A = this chain, B = another copy of it.
Amino acid sequence: MTRRDHPRPDVTPVDHAELALLLEVASTPKPGNVDRHREYDDLRFEHFLAGAVGSRPGLRMAADADADADADADADADADATPGLGDAFERAVRGMSQQDGDNTQFGCLLLLCPLVRAAATDRLSPSGVASVAEATTVEDAAAFYRAFDHVDVAVGDPPPEADALDVRRGGDAVPTLRDRGLTLADVMALSADRDGNAHEWATGFERTFRAADRVLNDEGPVSDRLARVFLALLAERPDTLVAVEHGEERARAVSRRAAAVQGDLDAAADLADAFHEEGINPGTTADLVAAAAFVALERGVRV
């Protein structure tokens, strides 16, 4: 559809990215994640609202690939050059983290930044976002590592041979990146088999686009559709954050329990209570939901 036929003709990709973050956290139940009805004392619903608003300057930089076409330009961005996608991500994370809940949407933003750039340059498709990923540089990888300096992100141990590239080193890993000439796409490819978000980067966001199609073909309020697609994604493949925190066997069991719900949101509410109790947080699957929400919004799903 053209932008003029869109139900929101003058809403930009940046607006849709922010709205995707808001719809993701509003959607309920998403077992094991903060949502409109479930939060923790130190990680509350309102932290996600502030995180979404705070991420905008970075999302604007992601969109600012063609300054002439972008109505939402920002003084932060140099009008003469396209901001690096890594810098955009780091800026988004820095703004997101200006609330008291620490890391609310790091993984969501890692998926949204390339999707926003693809949408802002009229190539929001698996091949288009793959070309965005392929265009990343060593500087983008360096900015990605620096983003870890802003928040605590739960990640697994890297393989022994990749210890120098442990993301928990943050900016300290940058000399190694430069020595090895690794781009952000290279870094993602190294983690694609054990991190769900890196897997999207390495595969043209295949699960994201399929999930967006499910959302577009579903019926009812968008937040219910997103809750159902969360269950479908979790049932389909173990969540890599759960695997990091509780091991792969537990992650597989979590997916079986999600599958047993069979998309029923009332049954999912019971599962949400159980996961909350057990400290199970399928956060990577929630990241995919935000990414799918963005694609669905860009493709005209009504809110």
Task: Tell me the A residues contacting B by CB distance below 8 Å.
Answer: 7-11, 15, 18-19, 22-23, 26, 36-37, 44-47, 49-50, 52-54, 56-57, 70-76, 95, 98-100, 221-223, 302-303
CB distance from A62 to the nearest CB of B (A): 16
CB distance from A91 to the nearest CB of B (A): 10
Please, how many angstroms separate the alpha-carbon atoms of A245 and B150 in the complex?
49
| A53 and B22 form a contact (CB under 8 A) | yes
Neighbour of A46 across the interface among B15, B45, B222, CB < 8 A:
B222
Neighbour of A99 across the interface among B36, B70, B95, B303, CB < 8 A:
B303
Residues on B with C-beta less than 8 A from A22 are 22, 49, 52-53
Known: A11-B54, A37-B37, A100-B302. A19 touches B222 (CB 8 A): no
Neighbour of A47 across the interface among B57, B72, B303, CB < 8 A:
B303
Neighbour of A73 across the interface among B37, B75, B100, B221, CB < 8 A:
B75
| B46 and A223 form a contact (CB under 8 A) | yes
CB distance from A85 to the nearest CB of B (A): 21
Known: A15-B53, A15-B54. A98 touches B8 (CB 8 A): yes
| B46 and A23 form a contact (CB under 8 A) | yes
| A19 and B50 form a contact (CB under 8 A) | yes
Please, how many angstroms separate the alpha-carbon atoms of A37 and B75 in the complex?
38
| B26 and A45 form a contact (CB under 8 A) | yes
Please, how many angstroms separate the alpha-carbon atoms of A94 and B94 in the complex?
31
Chain B residue nearest in CB terms to A45: B26
Q: A10-B57, A10-B98, A70-B75 are in contact. List 8 more A-B contacts (CB 8 A).
A: A9-B98, A15-B53, A19-B50, A22-B49, A22-B52, A36-B45, A37-B37, A71-B76
Residues on B with C-beta less than 8 A from A222 are 46
Chain B residue nearest in CB terms to A51: B303
Please, how many angstroms separate the alpha-carbon atoms of A57 and B47 in the complex?
23
Known: A15-B53, A26-B45. A10 touches B95 (CB 8 A): yes
CB distance from A88 to the nearest CB of B (A): 15
| B8 and A54 form a contact (CB under 8 A) | yes
CB distance from A127 to the nearest CB of B (A): 29
Please, how many angstroms separate the alpha-carbon atoms of A49 and B70 in the complex?
23
Known: A8-B98, A10-B95, A303-B99. A18 touches B72 (CB 8 A): no
Residues on B with C-beta less than 8 A from A221 are 44, 46
Chain B residue nearest in CB terms to A60: B72
| B98 and A50 form a contact (CB under 8 A) | no
CB distance from A27 to the nearest CB of B (A): 9
CB distance from A59 to the nearest CB of B (A): 12
Please, how many angstroms separate the alpha-carbon atoms of A113 and B50 in the complex?
20
Residues on B with C-beta less than 8 A from A37 are 36-37
CB distance from A9 to the nearest CB of B (A): 8
